[in-house]
Amino acid sequence: MSLLERETSGVVMTPDNIRTRKLPVAIDLGIAVVALVLAAAIVLGAGIGNWVLVIVVGAILYLVGLYFAAGRVEGKRAAKNKIARAMIYSACILAVLPLASVVWTLVSKGAARLDGDFFGSSMNNIGARDANGGAYHAIIGTLEQVGIATLMAVPLGVLGAIYLVEYGRGRFALTVRFFVDVMTGIPSIVAGLFVLAFWVLIVSPWFNNGTPRFSGFAASLALTVLMLPTIVRSTEEMLRLVPGPLREGAYALGVPQWKTILRVVLPTALPGIVTGVMLAVARAAGETAPVLLVAGGAAAINMDPFSGNQSSLSLFVYQQASDASKFAPDRAWTAALTLVALVLILTIAAKLLARRNRLS
């Protein structure tokens, strides 16, 4: 528009005037300052809120002002473009704030009990007035439960993925694939209730003179249900990336299909499979609800996952959070920090391993 006018008026075309006009940055900043001052005057003057409201009102005023200023200088469409960008940037800032707060609280509050006592003792005989006590039993529980769950879920998941990629044909394979995806969305509490109904209430009385019994193994079963679909999916993706000619080369040499899978396909896809397993383990380690329902939680150290109540780190956090003792929040936050560190180390290691993977 302005470009055409200028052309007809016979001005010499320079790089400066053949570009469309832009709102100067100074004016942009000026609008921001004016908006903030105006917002402060309105909000604090009328006494209807504090600095948070000032920022919110200021942001709205800034967007309105920017829209009109940019609309005058650059045109309506460009103004909309600017507003959209401002809103997308503010969405990012808005999301970063709570997440930064979570991280900051974890580190600052979690450091309070980060001592040897915390990692070396249990909550046995710790009363409401005792400041010490630790999560040793919970760490043991987490490691045992997640370890057993991994031992059960990995063979099952990898074999299931082999079926989907190498053998599965037709409607049945499609159904299995679909329900693997659906199963990733099953709430952890439902998996816990399932193991409660199936293992704790129906099967465990057979071994225990007719009375139901909580155990760490039951928690492992629930975690297996949660890990299985994740492992199947990630392994399946990796197996699909193995080049077909590798398989055909093996077949051409007369190797049977099962041996091809075990000796050629799986080793090629191994780093990717390990990555998927580690992500699943990280997810399982953070689950609270199933452990609460079927392992019961305990204050003392229980090394035997097959009998008696057991705790886990996440359950420890939950129970300490609900505890009335004034020392409980410190323990809860330190356990939360330990848990997050464990999960993040696993996740980051998995992602780094994935980066070194040559297949993807």
Residues numbered 113 to 172 that lie near another protein (CB under 8 A) are 155-157, 159-160, 162-170
d(C-alpha 276, C-alpha 235), whole Å: 7
CA distances from 46 to 33, 53, 56, 185, 269 (A): 20, 12, 15, 49, 66
CA distances from 135 to 115, 142, 203, 216, 326 (A): 11, 10, 30, 16, 17
Q: Binding to another protein by residue 109, rule CB under 8 A? A: yes
Decide: helix, strand or coil at residue 108. helix
Provide CB contacts within 8 A for 133, sequence distance 6+.
Answer: 117, 121, 122, 123, 126, 327, 331
| 306 closest CA partner among 197, 221, 201 | 221
Provide CB contacts within 8 A for 297, sequence distance 6+.
Answer: 291, 309, 310, 311, 315, 316, 319
Q: Which of 78, 114, 299, 301 binds another protein (CB under 8 A)?
A: 78
Report the half-sphere exposure of 253 (CA within 13 A, side-chain side). 9
Contact flags string 15-54 toward another protein, x per CB under 8 A? ---------------------------------xx--xx-
Name the residue nearer to another protein (CB basis): 24 or 187: 187
Q: Binding to another protein by residue 202, rule CB under 8 A? A: yes
Site residues for another protein, window 265-284 (CB under 8 A)?
A: 279, 282-283
CB of 106 to another protein, least distance (A): 7
CB of 66 to another protein, least distance (A): 14
Q: Which of 11, 179, 303, 304 binds another protein (CB under 8 A)?
A: 179
CB of 27 to another protein, least distance (A): 19
Q: How many CB atoms lie within 10 A of CB 314?
A: 24
Q: Which of 10, 15, 47, 98 binds another protein (CB under 8 A)?
A: 98
Binding piece for another protein, criterion CB under 8 A, among 65-73, 77-85, 125-133, 302-310 = 77-85
Binding piece for another protein, criterion CB under 8 A, among 62-70, 114-122, 298-306, 334-342 = 334-342
- Give the interface size with another protein as a residue count (CB under 8 A): 115
Site residues for another protein, window 292-321 (CB under 8 A)?
A: 292-293, 314, 317-318, 321
| 142 closest CA partner among 298, 328, 273, 276 | 298
Q: Which of 37, 41, 128, 186 binds another protein (CB under 8 A)?
A: 186
- Rounded to 5 degrees, what are φ and ψ at 310? -135, 155
Name the residue nearer to another protein (CB basis): 30 or 256: 256
Q: Binding to another protein by residue 239, rule CB under 8 A? A: yes
